[in-house]
Structure formats: structure tokens, C-alpha cells
Structure 1
Amino acid sequence: MSTGEDSTVRPQDGHAAGRTGREAGTPRLAGVDAARGLALIGLIAVHVLPEENDATGEPTWSYLLFAGDSAALFALLAGVGLALSTGRTRPHRGRQLAADRIGLAVRAALIACVGLLIGYAMPEDAPANGILLFYGMFFLLAIPFLSLGPRSLFAAAGVFAVVAPLLILGLQDALPDYSSSNPTFQHLRSEPTAVLAQLLLTGAYPALAYLTYILAGMGIGRLDLRARDVQARVATIGAGLAIAAQFVSWILLYAAGGFRQLVGSSPGLDEEALMEALIFEPDVDRLNSPWWLAVTTPHMSTPLSIAWSLGAGMTVLGVFLLASRRLRVWLRPLAAMGAMTLTLYSAHLVALSFEVHYDEPYLWFLVHLVVAALFALTWQSLVGQGPLEKVVGTAVRAARRAVLRGATAHRT
């Protein structure tokens, strides 16, 4: 998600600003913004459009295309953005690194506050689980990794892809249930342990699992993303990872007997119900078998579901980077939306809170999409950086300058 970081680099402080999204040195990576715009469309589709066909019970095209993967793509691209704004292929060191870390902490706090405020607008039976509060946690957890190069970041991502699902499965009985799908400041004060557990492990976007996407994105952002061969490798490796995840899942579930084990160990789940659960998530309070780790179901945060979503996200990113070399003008609406997703996503959640979309979901999906695209194109042409992106970016730059000024004063 575009959360104040940019795809351009200022020589003096590593951050981009300016009305046009360009600066004298390096232009924006339009492919990154366009991929982020597609992720926004995916989240809007998941929130507004139905998951299944009422007549057949089959999953809809929007669910199959976007469920789980859009949020993962957002996190992957957030990691790319962090790398681009903290040195690109040469991670910052010394005071620049300290300024990056303080700036990221400020960004995390502001984004979390936006998420907590939106929680007040959401009804009890919310039409969507907001991700912004989780993003605050993502960024806080990413702070220690800002100095690492691509190999270390990819290795760390692999560790979290394995360890986080084991923690989620192993600690599910010990951790408190969360009280709200969209926590507010009140929940944070009254139930801090439950909110923390939700952010880290039990929520819709558990930070320890999603750190896989953040770190992988940071590793990708440390590469030379303007090189055609790098762009092609990102797409190719991503496609291979996604295919491998599905193949391994199939082997474990059907050749190695995992499907039968799940049917036998899950009360109330016969074969038909389990097949549905593998598409739409199991409707159970607790997962009672380690064989659940073999599924690629959206939002399950298993090693293979993470691998699938990461691979799909890498493929999308690589394809858009390649496409932007020749189709930059055609990608402009997507890129404009992707450059201000914090603003557009927040507005989307507030609009959902009125709950007027249930009767005509396809109409309202179109309304959300058209309004977002027109607003993004108009605002970017007339003003530049998105409204919330501007607020967050200004605060981050001020925090970074304070750190850098302090270093200069100390030396003199």
C-alpha cells in the first residue's frame, strides 16, 4: 500500500516528494504503482462483490482472482516501497539509517491511527476487516531489517513463512480471541493483549505471517528494478513459486493422504464440506490437525498459502514492471490509483461503513472503481501526492530531518 513512501529517491534524504511524483534524479517506477493500483481494485472487489454464486454455490471470479492475494500483493509492494525509500540497492547506513528507522516508526504510528479511527465508523458486523492497523505493526516489525541486503531479506522472509504458521497453529488455544474485526482506541485501551495477539497472530492479516511479504518485497526493492532481466526474473521466479506451492499442496493432500486425515480429524467436516473449506476457509473455531498447514486456502496463513500468494504477487509485479516499459500511458489510471492507495483505501472503507452496497454489489463495485480512478487522476494532475500520503510523508520527512540535523549539530 502506498503509505507515504515513494518510488522515487531524493539524493539528500532518500525520500521523494514534489507535485508530479518525479524528481530531478530518478522517475517513479510506474510498474510498482500500477501493481499497487491492481491490488487496490482486488481489495475493493473482495469487499464489495459476493464470494459465491447464489445459484451454484461456486466461488465467483472475483473471489478466485483476488481473495487473500490482493492483501499479500499490497504487503509485498509496501516492502518494495520501503527498500526504494531507504537506499534502493545500497541500504542506508549510519545516521541515514537511524533517520529511516525513526521515519518508519512515525509512518507506522500515523497509519495505525488512521486504522483505529476508521474502526469507529465500522458497524459491529463489519463489511470488511481493515488492514491499516495491521500495517502499522508490519512497519514496526520491519524496522530492524532496513539495513539488510537482498539475500538476508529473502532468507528472513523464508523463516517467517515457516515459523509464523507454526506459531499460529500452536498458540491458537493460548491466545485470546479478538473482540472486534476493526479495533478502535477504546479496544486498544480496554483489551491491549487481545489487540496485540490479533495484530501478530490471530487477526485477518497476522503481522508475523505477513512479514514474509514485507521482507520479500524489501529484498526485491534492493535489486535493480529498472533492469529488464531483473524484472523478468521476478516474474518468472514468482510464477514458479506459485505453481510449486499448489503442486506441493496437491501432493500432501491427495497423494500423501492429508485430505483423508483432515476429514477424519475434523468433526462436522465431511468430504464435501472440506472441499468447500479448502476454497472459502474452514468454518471452525480451532484447527485441530497439522495437516491444515498443507492447504493454500486464502487467509489461512499456512506456509503454502503464503508461498502461493507471494509467488502470485511477484508475478504481477514483474509483469507490470515489464509492461510499463512500453505501456506507461495505458497504465496511468492504475498507477495514479496506486500512488495514493492510503487515501483511496481509507475512503473505500468509510464508504463501506454505510452498508449500501449489499443489494447492488456490481453497481457499487463500479462506482467505487470509477470514483477512485477519476479522483486519483484529477488529484495527481492538479496537486500531486495524495492527501493522506502528503500528511504521512510530511511527518516522516520532518522526523528524518530532525534526526539528520541532530547528527550535523553533534559533529559541529
Structure 2
Amino acid sequence: MTDARPAPPTALRGALVPGGRLHGVDVARAMALLGMMATHVGGIADAVDWSDPGTWAAVAHGRSSSLFAVLAGVSIGLTSGRTDPPGPPAIGRVRGRLAIRAVVVVAVGLLLMALQTPVYVILPTYGVLFLLAIPVLRVRARWLLVIAGLCAVLSPVVALATVPFYADAGMWEVQLGLVYPVVTFLAYVLVGLAVARAGLGPRRRFPNDAPAAYGPCRWGEGEARGTQVVLLASGAVVALVAYLVGNAVAPVPADAAFAFPGVPYAGEGSTGSETLAQLFLSPRDHSSSIVDVVATAGIAVAVIALCTLVFDGRGPTAERIAFPLAAVGSMPLTVYAGHLVVLAMLPEYPDSSAAWWWFAIGSVPFAMTWRAFLGRGPLERLTVRLTRLVPDPRA
């Protein structure tokens, strides 16, 4: 009896192509979302005091939004060819779809800002970052890191230079470029894009005589595992070194509670050298300093690498364990917007650990149920439909 399957195309023989959805990336995205919720409603401390466990939840400050931004870059990389972005004319379609995603995210962000909750909404900046990523979709990972490094160096200078433009700004205006400085967060997106281009997840390796549609395949996990371990170790080391340098050279001022998010702060009575050190090397969260950007980017890379190392390519059991958080992370726009809508509907703004637990408990079952029965989240489904308006240039 002969095999009824058609012969595999020559171009696919021995191919190594991207695998499916990365559950670890979704888990990391859920951690970022839940971390941002904690900063919004969790009643957590302003800063971490490692001698006081009650303040440890303050690690969410600054690191959740930076993780969210690095994951934006990872998402852009995964949807634009992973390790091998396409060339013309296909890259034009990718860029067009990314531009539509950017417009949707900005529009949703502006609508959420109109709710006037006491929360700094990251989505308008997030959408602008999508637009800024369009020209670099085909840039190699090493050059993406070089550009990200340049953004990190310019970050404190640009952040400080924009302050005069917000002298009379209200809650609405400061959310547009001050609290989440574009140059600072562009560094995060570029790092995430470089991570995706490095080969974050496993890829399916097909034998010469049996590509995917024609027979069994095996996962090219060796390459992915090695990449994930390198990313985990390098991210952790970079963050550790950056914080050690920052705390030694520019310790956080005692009156840092008066500092505005996203803006460098030297502290009252600082000397010229102390001011310069705080500008470039402050380890304070949301300080936009080089140390802050490098350290939080390193932590984000380490978290993403650890999540993919634990949950991707490990079989059905790992996927089932990951599912509650992965469901939340698979619909970030819906979950983020949903929690702000709920906040706007509450008669009194909550600010306690109990409130955070209620938001977390509500988000996870909702996302699990929606994901299991309906697939993409509602706002993600709308975004996908709009991006499909971009025609395929090969048609």
C-alpha cells in the first residue's frame, strides 16, 4: 500500500520553521499586567526595603511597565517573522498591519484616559512605539541592541528636556510622553525585538522526507534552550551589575517620594556631581536614567527567558499549568482596558492588597473561559480584523 500523501515541496525539505504560540511569553505578559494592576490598586509600598517583607511587592513599580514594553517588542518580532523577517513585498504588509495595530492601541488608550481614573495609561505611548518600530523590522538583533543602548543614554536627557513643556499640564497631558517617555520606552521595545530575533522559542525541524503537512516533525529545542539560558543569565547579570553600580554611585535620595514618574530627580541640596550622577545613574524606579533603563530591561529579558524555558516545548502538562496565566497574557489589551473600565465604574477608588486580589481573581477566570470557548480576546479579535484590511502584496 502506497502513502497517499503528496511529495513534500523541495523548498520545505529539511526546513526549520517557527513553532506555535509561545505560552511562556503569554505568562510573562500576564505577570506584567498583574504587576501593573498592583501598582494601580494594590496599596503597595513606594519602594522596596529588603529587610521588610511587607514592601517586597514594590518591585512591581517600574518593572511591570518595562516588562510590558519589552514584551511589545517581542510580540512585534514574533509576528514579523521571528528570526527571519520577510523582505519586500511581504514586509510591506507586516508594516501596514503593525501601523493599524498602533492606531487601535492609541485609540483605546485615549478612550481609557477619558474615563479619568487616577491611573497613568500606558497605551498611547505603547501605540506610538509600534509606529517607531516599523522602520527597524529588518534590522539585525545586534544593531537593535546598539540603537537601544543609544536610547538608554539619551533617555534621561530627553526626559528632563521635555519637563518644561508640561509645566501647566494636568492628569490628561502628563500621560502623553512624560510619565512614559517615548525614548526611554523605545529602548525597551528594541530590546524585546532583538530578543525575538535571537530565536526565543523552539522551532519545528522537519526531516528531509516529511515536512509538517506530510508527516511527523521534531522540535528544534536545543537551539531554543541554549538561547533561553543565555538570555536568562545575561539579563540577570546585566540587571545586577547595573543596580550595584547605581546604588554605589547614585543612591536614591531620601526625599525621592517627591520625584515625578519618568523624570530624573536629584534631591534637595544635591551638589553638581550628585545631580549628574542622579541624572544618568540613579537606580530609582521610573527615573529614566541609564541604570534604570538597563536594569529593568535586563530583568524583563530574564523573566521572559525564564518563562519560555519553563513552559514552552515541555509538553501538555506544562501547557495546562501555564494556561491560567497564559490566557490572561493572550489578551493583554482586553484585560488592561477591562480593569480600567471596572475602576471607572466603582463608586470609590480601591487601594489595598484585597482590591488587587479581586482584580486578579476576576481577570484569570474571565480570560480562561473566554480563551477556552471563544479564542482571542474581544479587543484582540477586533484588532486582527482591522489588520486584515491590509491586502497581501502577493495576491
Give TM-score, length-normalised by structure 1. 0.76
CA contact (8 A) 2:234 2:302 kept: yes
User: What secondary structure sits across from 1:137 in the alignment?
Assistant: helix
CA contact (8 A) 1:84 1:221 kept: yes
Query: Which structure: larger Rg?
Result: 2
Quote the residue 1:290 is aligned against.
276
Residues 140 and 199 from structure 1, CA distance in 2 versus in 1: closer, same or farther, beyond 3 angstroms?
Answer: farther
**d(CA) in 2 for partners of 1:210, 1:162:** 12
Residues 282 and 63 from structure 1, CA distance in 2 versus in 1: closer, same or farther, beyond 3 angstroms?
Answer: farther
**d(CA) in 1 for partners of 2:348, 2:68:** 24
Quote the residue 1:11 is aligned against.
none
Deviations 1:122-175 (CA, angstroms, capped at 9, x unpaired): 2xxx421111111111111111111112111111111111112222224533x3
| 1:371 to partner: Cα distance | 1.1
Deviations 1:287-334 (CA, angstroms, capped at 9, x unpaired): 463222221111111110011111111111111111104433211111
Count of aligned pairs between the two proteins: 339
Quote the residue 1:340 is aligned against.
331
Residues 282 and 372 from structure 1, CA distance in 2 versus in 1: closer, same or farther, beyond 3 angstroms?
Answer: same
| 1:59 to partner: Cα distance | 9.2
**d(CA) in 2 for partners of 1:25, 1:237:** 24
Residue of 177, 193, 216 corresponding to 1:218: 193
Quote the residue 2:24 is aligned against.
31
CA contact (8 A) 2:331 2:380 kept: yes
**d(CA) in 1 for partners of 2:264, 2:246:** 21
**d(CA) in 1 for partners of 2:239, 2:93:** 36
User: What secondary structure sits across from 1:90 in the alignment?
Assistant: coil
Quote the residue 1:275 is aligned against.
254
Query: Is 1:51 aligned to residue 41 of structure 2?
Result: no
Quote the residue 2:371 is aligned against.
380
**d(CA) in 2 for partners of 1:178, 1:336:** 41
CA contact (8 A) 2:371 2:377 kept: yes
Amino acid aligned to 2:62 = G
User: What secondary structure sits across from 1:28 in the alignment?
Assistant: coil
Residues 150 and 233 from structure 1, CA distance in 2 versus in 1: closer, same or farther, beyond 3 angstroms?
Answer: same
Quote the residue 2:55 is aligned against.
61
Amino acid aligned to 1:298 = D
| 1:25 to partner: Cα distance | 7.3
CA contact (8 A) 2:26 2:329 kept: yes
Quote the residue 1:238 is aligned against.
235
Identity among equivalent positions (%) equals 32
**d(CA) in 1 for partners of 2:353, 2:228:** 34
| 1:181 to partner: Cα distance | 3.2
Residue of 169, 173, 180 corresponding to 1:179: 169
User: What secondary structure sits across from 1:275 in the alignment?
Assistant: coil
Quote the residue 1:86 is aligned against.
80
| 1:121 to partner: Cα distance | 1.2
Quote the residue 1:15 is aligned against.
none
Query: Is 1:139 aligned to residue 125 of structure 2?
Result: no
Give TM-score, length-normalised by structure 2. 0.80
| 1:52 to partner: Cα distance | 2.8
| 1:83 to partner: Cα distance | 0.5
* Unaligned stretches of 5+ residues in structure 1: 1-23, 184-194, 260-273
**d(CA) in 2 for partners of 1:309, 1:61:** 18
**d(CA) in 2 for partners of 1:236, 1:356:** 46
**d(CA) in 1 for partners of 2:74, 2:264:** 34
Amino acid aligned to 1:35 = A
| 1:253 to partner: Cα distance | 2.5
Q: List 4+ stretches of structure 1 deviating above 4 A.
A: 283-288, 355-360
**d(CA) in 1 for partners of 2:276, 2:65:** 25
**d(CA) in 1 for partners of 2:342, 2:32:** 18
Deviations 1:325-370 (CA, angstroms, capped at 9, x unpaired): 4433211111010000100100111112245564562222111111
Query: Is 1:310 aligned to residue 285 of structure 2?
Result: no
Quote the residue 1:301 is aligned against.
288
| 1:81 to partner: Cα distance | 0.7
CA contact (8 A) 2:152 2:187 kept: yes
Residues 356 and 305 from structure 1, CA distance in 2 versus in 1: closer, same or farther, beyond 3 angstroms?
Answer: farther
| 1:42 to partner: Cα distance | 0.3
Quote the residue 2:183 is aligned against.
208
